[in-house]
């Protein structure tokens, strides 16, 4: 379990590419620098898409976990 407490949480369960990525971008834009977004998604493309997004934009992927049900949990710190 991660020790980072999210500032905001985004539930994208049931949404598929490109919606989780678009909504993540909007949610990150609404945060202040240093704040943390928790993203929950079950889109199989999200693992690669969100990791690539964080790297490309300079945000820090603090935590990634694939859950037993196949969904994913990300914690992303805004740069």
Per the structure block, which two tokens stand in for 39?
């993203």
What confidence tier does 4 reach under pLDDT thresholds 50, 70, 90?
confident
Alpha helices in 5-76 (DSSP H): 19-29, 46-57
Of all residues in the chain, the percent with pLDDT exceeding 70 is 96
Domain spans in the chain, listed from the N-terminal domain onward: 8-77
Annotated active-site residue in 7, 15, 17, 73? 17
The yes-or-no answer on residue 17 being catalytic is yes
- The whole-angstrom separation of Cα 33 and Cα 43 is 27
Nearest to 79 by CA among 51, 52, 55, 60: 60
State residue 2's pLDDT score: 54
- The whole-angstrom separation of Cα 54 and Cα 51 is 5
At the topology level of CATH, where does 8-77 sit?
Answer: Translation Initiation Factor IF3 (3.30.110)
- The whole-angstrom separation of Cα 47 and Cα 32 is 24
Average pLDDT over residues 46-63: 97
């Amino acid at each position: 379990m991660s020790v980072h407490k999210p500032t905001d949480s985004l539930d994208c369960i049931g949404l598929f590419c490109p919606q989780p990525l678009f909504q993540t971008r909007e949610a990150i834009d609404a945060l202040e620098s240093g704040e943390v977004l928790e993203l929950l998604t079950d889109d199989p493309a999200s693992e690669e898409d969100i990791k690539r997004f964080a790297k490309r934009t300079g945000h820090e992927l603090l935590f990634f976990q694939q859950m037993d049900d196949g969904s994913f949990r990300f914690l992303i710190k805004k740069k």
